Amino acid sequence: MQARVPGVRLSTAAAGIRYKDRDDLLLIELAEGGTCAAVFTRNAFCAAPVTVAREHLAKGPVRYLLINAGNANAGTGSSGLRAARETCRLLAGMAGCAMSQVLPFSTGVIGEDLPVDPFAQSVPVLLSGLAEDNWASAAAAIMTTDTVAKLVTHQVGLSSGVITLTGIAKGSGMICPDMATMLAYVATDAEVPQAVLQVLLQEAVAGSFNAITVDGDTSTNDACVLLASGSSAVRVDAADSADGRLLGDALNTVCSELAERIVRDGEGATKLVRIRVASAGDRDEARTVAYTVAHSPLVKTALFASDPNWGRILAAVGRSGVADLDIDHVRIWLDDVAIVSGGGRDPEYTEAAGQAVMRDSEILIRIDLGRGVATTELLTCDLSYDYVKINAEYRS
Residues identified as active-site = 181
CA–CA separation, 90 vs 125, rounded Å?
13
CA–CA separation, 260 vs 298, rounded Å?
22
Number of helices and strands (H, E) in the chain?
11, 15
158, 21 in Cβ contact below 8 A? no
CA–CA separation, 222 vs 34, rounded Å?
23
Residue 110 backbone dihedrals phi, psi, to 5 degrees? -85, 145
* Exposed/middle/buried for residue 28 (C-beta within 10 Å: 0-12, 13-18, 19+): buried
Three-state SS for 34?
coil
CA–CA separation, 315 vs 356, rounded Å?
22
In one letter, which amino acid is 203?
A: E
Spell out the residues 6+ positions from residue 33 whose beta carbon is closer than 8 angstroms to its own. Answer: 61, 230
Nearest CA to 79 among 56, 47, 38?
47
356, 330 in Cβ contact below 8 A? no
Dihedral sign from CA coordinates of 118, 121, 127, 132 = negative
334, 354 in Cβ contact below 8 A? yes
CA–CA separation, 53 vs 50, rounded Å?
5
366, 340 in Cβ contact below 8 A? no
Torsion of CA 44, 108, 75, 29, to 10 degrees: -70
CA–CA separation, 340 vs 327, rounded Å?
10
